[in-house]
Every structure is written in C-alpha cells, then in structure tokens.
C-alpha cells in the first residue's frame, strides 16, 4: 500500500540543496529574540541538555537534564524553571533526582484538564535503555511521586519517551518511544489524553543497527489532509532526515525513506502552527556541526525549501568547561507554540539553556 507513497514522497520532499548549502535561507534580525533560561555559575552544573517547554496556569515551564560536567553521567537529574512572561525565569528546581543506581532525563510534558504531567525517563545504563515514568502537579509547586507509564495491556512501558508527544485531534496523542533492549525508536499512540497509559506501538518496518534503530529521536507534523509525517535522525550518517507517514492516526506507518532534508544527525522538532502550516527546527549543516539553528515552514507539508537561519556560529557564546559529549553549538531543539510566537528551547554548547522566541511569520 505504501510503495507508491514512498516514491511520491521522495520526489516531493526534495529541497533545492546544492553541495550541502541551503537555498533560500534567510537570517532574521527583527522578529526573534534569544532568552537565557539557565547559565551556570562557577559552582553550578556545567552540563545541561534536552530542554522542553510548555504552558500551565499562566506560566511557561521548562525542563531539562542537568549534571556536573558530563552527558548521561550517574549524577544526571531533571530540573525545571518557570516564567510568567517567558523572559525572566525562576531558579532551577530538581523534580527527578538521581539515585545510587539510576539517573533521570526529561520525557516531555502533557497538560490535560487541570493537571500538568512531567514525563521522566529513568536509566541504569544509557546503552541498555531505560523506562518511562510520570509525575503530576496541580499547581507547579507540589509534585506527585513517580508512577510508571503504562501500555494498553497494563504493562509498564519498556522504553523511554521522546519529548514531544503531539495531540493530533480531539481524542488521540501520537508520539515516539525508544524501546529496550537498547534504544529502538517506534511510533506510539494513545487515546488516554493524560498520556499516563493506554499506549500502543504503531506498526512500522525499522532497520535496527545493533542496540539502536537506524532512525532515532523523531518528531512529527500533520499534512493538510491529516497524514502524519514523522521525521528521524539518521544514524547511518547520511546527514539527511529519515521519514515515515501514517494515514490512520498512527496505527500503521510507511517504511522509512531518506529525504533530502539536510541534517546534522541530531534531534529535531516539528509541528504545526495554528494556521495549519508545518514547521521543522533543526541544525541544517550536512555534518556533525551543530553551529547553525534553523526553521523551515511549509504550507503543504512537503516543500520546506525556504529555510530561516535563527542562530549561527557567530552568535555562540564561549563554552566555559569541557565535558564528555559536550558538543559545541545548538543542541536538541524542541518547540512550543503559544499565541503569535513559536518558542524554541535548546542547549547552547550543552552548558546553557536558551530559548529563541520567534514571532510567527505571515504567509508569503
């Protein structure tokens, strides 16, 4: 059923990209601003990453993973900060601590009714993979104890949640998880709008490479006809995005195909604006270099050829301290849309938590 779809999508998703450069790229100067949520002092944690935003009861909320100096080290824990106006942020507070045998990373947010849910991914060993838990609050101050995220059959999810579950309609959430053993990405969906349970794995053909799947850390958006498009980083180092599509609300998916969307083999964020346009935020460099942060918009969900460069190498601050896997650049962007703005949260040099707030552009 999907063979024709794959061939057609390979044709229409092609960008005008020549010799690794992005045509039609624009640098914005007036309709975006960059805000620092967290910058370490001499005695603070100097490794931060995986920042993700939401809004709850009149405040913006940002969570991220934090450790003294290294990525996914045994002291890794999850912090949050909040802001009323999106510019001035509170001092970080730990909501998921490390233990003698486990460490924790963010799994994203869901707001449902009067409850804010923070998903927490808990690991003993990053290579072996982890398991997903959640905590809840009604006011942002007092949090529940951790409870396991459940599958539709009542068993504990044997994997970790990617950070941006999407509510695609009035009754369904679609996202992704990385299942054990290792990190094997699969689409997942649930009709439990709290996200606490009812999760099912979408059917997809996915090439696995040892303990990892070839495609990792996906994000998704909707086309105008309701087709869900899920984008993955390519661990085979093509430095282009992998893609798969679902026409039945996440239950079955096409075989992954390689697009011409240029990438840095890093996490990306995708979604839709209130007017239905799709967007993709990533590091469009064509190498492991993450010193460029860009956003692309599409009216039809296929042509993303107009790429806007938000931040570049010249905008980077100086990294204060070295650490394991402390990549220079803008790492792991995630997005949140509120009113006339799109908020892009990410780590700068894996040392600072930063938000670039961009006023949503009018349709050209």
Where do we find the tokens 């510019």?
87
CB atoms within 10 A of CB 154: 8
Instruction: Tell me if the domain spanning 3-359 has CATH number 3.40.50.150.
Output: no
Q: What is the mean pLDDT of residues 125-150?
A: 96
Query: What is the per-residue pLDDT for 24?
Result: 43
d(CA 46, CA 67): 7
- Structural domain boundaries in the chain: 3-359
Structure tokens at 341: 């703005």
Per-residue pLDDT at 19 exceeds 60: no
For residues 31 and 182, the model is more confident at 182
Query: What is the per-residue pLDDT for 30?
Result: 55
Q: What is the pLDDT of residues 30-54, one digit of tens each?
A: 578 999 999 999 999 999 999 999 9
Query: What is the per-residue pLDDT for 12?
Result: 28
Q: What is the pLDDT of residues 236-270, one digit of tens each?
A: 999 999 999 999 999 999 999 999 999 999 999 99
Q: Using CB atoms within 10 Å of the CB of residue 231, give its burial: 0 to 12 exposed, 13 to 18 middle, 19+ buried.
A: buried
Per-residue pLDDT at 15 exceeds 80: no
Q: Are 215 and 179 in contact (CB under 8 A)?
A: no
Q: What is the pLDDT of residues 278-326, one digit of tens each?
A: 999 999 999 999 999 999 999 999 999 878 999 999 999 999 999 999 9
Helix (H) and strand (E) counts in the chain: 1, 30
d(CA 106, CA 64): 6
Q: What's this model's pTM, rounded to 2 decimal places?
A: 0.92
Q: Are 199 and 157 in contact (CB under 8 A)?
A: yes
Q: Are 209 and 197 in contact (CB under 8 A)?
A: no
Query: What is the per-residue pLDDT for 305?
Result: 85
Q: Residue 23 — pLDDT band, cuts 50, 70, 90?
A: very low
- Tell me if the bond preceding 181 is cis, omega within 30° of 0: yes
Q: Are 290 and 331 in contact (CB under 8 A)?
A: yes
Q: What is the pLDDT of residues 188-235, one digit of tens each?
A: 999 999 999 999 999 999 888 889 999 999 999 999 999 999 999 999
Q: Are 235 and 206 in contact (CB under 8 A)?
A: no
């Amino acid at each position: 059923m999907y063979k024709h779809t794959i061939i057609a999508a390979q044709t229409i998703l092609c960008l005008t990209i020549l010799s690794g450069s992005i045509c039609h790229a624009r640098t914005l100067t007036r309709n975006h601003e960059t805000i620092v949520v967290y910058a370490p002092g001499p005695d603070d944690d100097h490794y931060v990453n995986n920042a993700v935003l939401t809004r709850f009861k009149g405040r913006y909320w940002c969570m991220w993973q934090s450790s003294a100096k290294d990525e996914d080290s045994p002291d890794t824990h999850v912090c949050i900060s909040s802001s009323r106006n999106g510019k001035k942020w509170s001092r970080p507070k730990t909501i998921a601590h490390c233990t003698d045998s486990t460490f924790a990373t963010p799994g994203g947010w869901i707001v449902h009714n009067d409850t804010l849910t923070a998903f927490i991914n808990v690991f003993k060993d990053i290579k072996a993979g982890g398991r997903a838990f959640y905590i809840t609050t009604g006011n942002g101050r007092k949090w529940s104890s951790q409870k396991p995220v459940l599958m539709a059959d009542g068993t504990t999810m044997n994997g970790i949640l990617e950070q941006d579950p999407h509510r695609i309609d009035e009754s369904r959430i679609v996202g992704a998880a990385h299942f054990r053993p290792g990190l094997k990405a699969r689409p997942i969906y649930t009709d439990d709008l709290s996200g606490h349970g009812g999760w099912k794995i979408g059917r997809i053909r996915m090439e696995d490479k040892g303990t990892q799947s070839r495609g990792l850390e996906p994000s998704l958006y909707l086309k105008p006809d309701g087709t869900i498009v899920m984008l993955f980083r390519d661990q085979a180092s093509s430095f282009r995005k992998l893609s798969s599509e679902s026409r039945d609300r996440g239950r079955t998916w096409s075989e992954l195909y390689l697009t011409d969307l240029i990438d840095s083999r890093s996490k990306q964020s995708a979604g839709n604006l209130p007017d239905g346009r799709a967007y993709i935020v990533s590091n469009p460099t064509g190498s492991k270099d993450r010193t460029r942060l860009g956003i692309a918009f599409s009216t039809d969900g296929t042509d993303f050829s107009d790429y806007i460069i938000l931040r570049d190498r010249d905008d980077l601050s100086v990294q204060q301290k070295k650490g394991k896997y402390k990549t220079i650049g803008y790492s792991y962007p995630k997005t949140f849309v509120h009113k006339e703005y799109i908020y892009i949260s990410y780590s700068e040099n894996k040392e600072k938590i930063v938000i670039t707030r961009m006023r949503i552009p009018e349709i050209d």
